[in-house]
Amino acid sequence: MPRHFAIVPAAGSGSRFGSEKPKQYLSLLGRPLLHHTLAALAACPEIDRVWVVLAPDDREWDSYDWSELGPKLETLRCGGATRADSVGNGLRAAAMVASDDDWILVHDAVRPCLSREMLATLLGELADDTVGGILAVPVADTLKRADGEQRVAATEARDGLWQAQTPQMFRYGVLREALEKCRAVTDEAGAIEALGLKPRLVRADATNLKVTYPADLVLAALILRGRK
C-alpha cells in the first residue's frame, strides 16, 4: 500500500516580505511561522514522515525547539537556489525511503493555516487518482492585465481559472522525473503538466493562505486563533 511523505521547501529568503529574518521564522502566535506549517503535516496520521528542506547555511533552525512535532520530522540541509531545486534535492535525498508509487505532498513553508479538513479532503480525493493533484480555489476577483505603464491593457476572463495552493500531491517516481526534466516551473503541478499529465484540482478555501506580505501574517494569526 502506498505511503505518504511530505516535503516542505524552506530554503527561501523571503525577500518580498521586507524582513531581515527569513519569513518562515517570523513569529506567529508565539512560534515560528514554519512551526505551524510543519505541525499541520506532522499531526496527520496518514503521513509517515515530514522532510523540511533547509538551506545548507541556515542559522535560524537550531534557535528553536521543534521536538513537540515528534519523530516524523526530519531535516534535510540540501536546499537550492529555487523551489524546484529544493524539492528536487529533497526527492533525491528521500530515495532510500520512498518508492515510486508512494505519495509525496509538497507544501509551502509559509502556508501555516492548512486545516485537518482540507488535508483529509486532498488525501481522500486523490487516493485512487492516476495523476495526483493540488489544493486550489476558483478565482473570484476580476482579473486585469497591465501594460508597461501599469494601466489596464485588458480584462481577462476568469471562467475556469483556479488559484493554485499547496499541498501538491503526486507519486514519488513521477514527480522526481518531472522535476528532473523541467525545473523552470513555479510549482510541482507545472512540472507534472510538462509531462503531458493533468493534475486534479481539489477545492480548498482562502484560509489556506500563503504569507507573502506583512498583512498576510496578521490574517494568518486571525485564522489560527479562530480555530482554537
In this prediction, residue 173 carries a pLDDT of 98
Dihedral-angle region of residue 223 (phi above 0 means left; psi in -120 to 50 means alpha; beta otherwise): alpha
Question: What's the pTM?
Answer: 0.95
Q: Answer for the pair 178, 188: CB distance below 8 angstroms, yes or no.
A: yes
Closest residue by Cα to residue 42 from 82, 73, 16 = 73
Q: Answer for the pair 168, 199: CB distance below 8 angstroms, yes or no.
A: yes
Say whether pLDDT at 17 is over 70: no
Say whether pLDDT at 61 is over 90: yes
Say whether pLDDT at 19 is over 90: no
Spell out the domains of the chain, with CATH numbers in brackets: 4-137+166-226 (3.90.550.10)
Confidence of residue 228 (pLDDT cuts 50, 70, 90): confident
DSSP string, 83-96: HHHHHHHHHHHGGG
Q: In degrees, to the nearest 5, what angle opens at C-alpha 113 toward C-alphas 115 and 109? A: 120
- What does residue 191 show for φ and ψ, rounded to 5 degrees? -70, -40
- Indicate the average pLDDT of the chain: 95
Confidence of residue 131 (pLDDT cuts 50, 70, 90): very high
Say whether pLDDT at 201 is over 90: yes
